[in-house]
Each structure stands twice: as structure tokens, then as C-alpha cells.
Amino acid sequence: MKYASVILLSLIWAAPSFAHGPGEKGPNGGLMEDVAGIDAELVTSGNKVTINVFDSKDTKPVPTKGYSGAVLITNGTAKETVSLAASGENSLEGEAKTAIAPGATVTLTIKTAEGKSGQAKYKK
């Protein structure tokens, strides 16, 4: 019984570290990834790319004023880089020349207002 209690407590303490894993869905139905100390959710519609930014601890929206970013969209041999600009309260948006196809890989490069930067890769 003692060992069962230790295992149970270990699982409970470890639970917050599994807040979300790679490729998990975010609040808007997009894929979530940890990058530069924030959670970035990729949402695409046609040729529009949106990155929604959330606090990595409690998924509260984070204002994107002062943020910059770009995505590299790779679909087979076709590649396109799209610059992202702050939009709304907690989003960065950009528009690709063509629709983003299922199976495309989207690589995000982001820089926060605090100067932290990082990359995340999404498989659509």
C-alpha cells in the first residue's frame, strides 16, 4: 500500500508538466506548441495563417504588441515564407500566396516583446 501511495502522489505531482503535448489542440482548435516561453497555436483557413499566443502556465491570452514572427510553409517541394504581424489582442497573422494544404509543414519563428525567440514546427 505504501508503494501505491508513492506512485499515486508521483503521478499527481507530474500532471502539470503534461499540460499539453506536441500537436495537442488549442482553445481555437489549432495545434499548440511551446516556443519562446509561450504557447503558440497555429490556425489556418485557406491561405490565412494565424498564431494565437497564450501563457504557457495557464493558457490565458498574451498580448502580441511588440511581437514579430514568420512562418515557412513547406508542401512537397513548394516553400513559401510568410511574415506575421500583430492582429487583435493575442494573435499574429499573415497571408500565403496559395491555400495551405493538409499535410503541409509550417515552421514558426517568433520573437516576443521581451526579446525571447524560438522556433516551432507544426505538421498540418
Scan for cell 494573435, then name that residue: 91
- Residue 116: inside a domain: yes
Q: What is the CATH number of the domain that holds 57?
A: 2.60.40
- 10-residue stretch averages of pLDDT, the chain, 124 residues long: 41 40 83 96 97 94 97 96 97 97 96 97 94
Q: Is residue 7 part of a domain?
A: no
- Whether 78 is covered by a domain: the verdict is yes
Per the structure, the complete domain to which residue 83 belongs is given by 21-123
- Looking at residue 18, what DSSP letter applies? G
Q: Count the domains in the chain.
A: 1
Task: Tell how many helices (H) and how many strands (E) occur in the chain.
Answer: 1, 8
pTM assigned to the model? 0.82
Residue 35 to residue 117: CA distance in whole angstroms: 8
